[in-house]
Amino acid sequence: MPTVNREGSVYFLNLGDGENRFTLPWITELHAVVQEIAAGQGPRAIVTLATGKFWSNGLDLDWLISHPDEGADYIDLVQEIFASFIELPLPTVAAIQGHCYAAGGLLALSHDFALMRSDRGFFCLPEVDLGIPFSPGMSSLLQSRMLPATAHEAMVTGRRYGGEEAAQAGIVKEALSEERLLAAATELAESLAGKAGPTMAALRQQMYRDTIRLLRLPTKPISM
């Protein structure tokens, strides 16, 4: 389950040590943690990390299949997480140490910057192979945070990007060794912490106004 601790100006948001799928309890806890961080004061920034093989493996597909009548409400909760991250009044950095798939990729792209381990893990949007179309809000998020050609390839082919490939494609800011990843993410967060405040929130709300609006539109019933 997500946990958070603050060291100086940096909140370390740990998504967990398993697959970190978007289960309902996991979503509820993550939302509470994000709201706690948003209410903080002073210079501050977030580093979102995980431990183990995965940063996040995306939606809880087993639950979705077994609860088809609740799927739309579930997606609304997931999309609210993305919108909440975009609107945060403080800098955000994702430190991706393992696989970052599907909704996990969307969560990473909801951060200001992402750094990725160079020798392990993939960034992948496999929805085309799973037969799950992106919602308008998800499409807007992906297309606003990736270069057009990269967004097209990632969304319509489900390509898996290793760390170096993700950096070359502009999906992440940098690919680093396991030993350097968290330290570099922390250094970046600390360098930006002084920019936290209402102006940052207002800038994001203007820059991503359409994406935020689409993410908060009620989802139509989905089928899998």
The domain spans of the chain are 3-215
pLDDT band at 223 (very low <50, low <70, confident <90, very high): low
Residue-wise pLDDT for 162-212, tens only, equals 999 999 999 999 999 999 999 999 999 999 999 999 999 999 999 999 999
Q: What percent of the chain has pLDDT over 90?
A: 97
In the three-class reduction of DSSP (H, G, I as helix; E, B as strand; rest coil), residue 106 is classed as: helix
Name the fold adopted by 3-215.
2-enoyl-CoA Hydratase; Chain A, domain 1 (3.90.226)
CB 97 within 8 A of CB 117: yes
CB 173 within 8 A of CB 152: no
| Amino acid at position 221, single letter | P
Mean pLDDT (the chain) is 96
Residue matched to tokens 């600390």: 190
pLDDT band at 160 (very low <50, low <70, confident <90, very high): very high
Residue-wise pLDDT for 104-121, tens only, equals 999 999 999 999 999 999
CB 45 within 8 A of CB 91: yes
In the three-class reduction of DSSP (H, G, I as helix; E, B as strand; rest coil), residue 178 is classed as: helix
Tokens of 207: 């820059």
Q: Using CA atoms, how far apart are residues 162 and 83, in angstroms rounded to an integer?
A: 26
